[in-house]
Structure 1
């Protein structure tokens, strides 16, 4: 499986994109960008978990009120 299914990108396209990013941002900026991207993804996942927990607790409260 040589492609990313959701973007339909092959290995050649991924390498080309990586080279363009390297040229645009330089080698020193890429680790900072990846660190920021990782923090963003982590915050997004934490937010989703908080919303899911809130929905589950509201559903549990609703079910206990009916009894």
Structure 2
């Protein structure tokens, strides 16, 4: 799995951090997403998919390719 984020469209909702805190964080100054792990371990894949599906701005892209 490969994960990318689009900081320009992130609205800072924080649902990604709640779903997958080992993969996502937020900037203190504006809440914009920070990608901590662009290639998360297999045990995190379900949480990352959930984070991407719940993102109101659709700022998270997930590729199932390794």
Q: TM-score range by the shorter chain?
A: under 0.3
Which structure dedicates a bigger proportion of its chain to strand?
2
TM (norm. structure 1) is 0.24
The TM-score, its normalising length taken from structure 2, stands at 0.25
Rg bigger for which structure?
Answer: 1
Kindly indicate whether structure 1 or structure 2 has the higher relative contact order, using CA contacts under 8 Å at least 6 residues apart.
2
Structure with higher helix content: 1
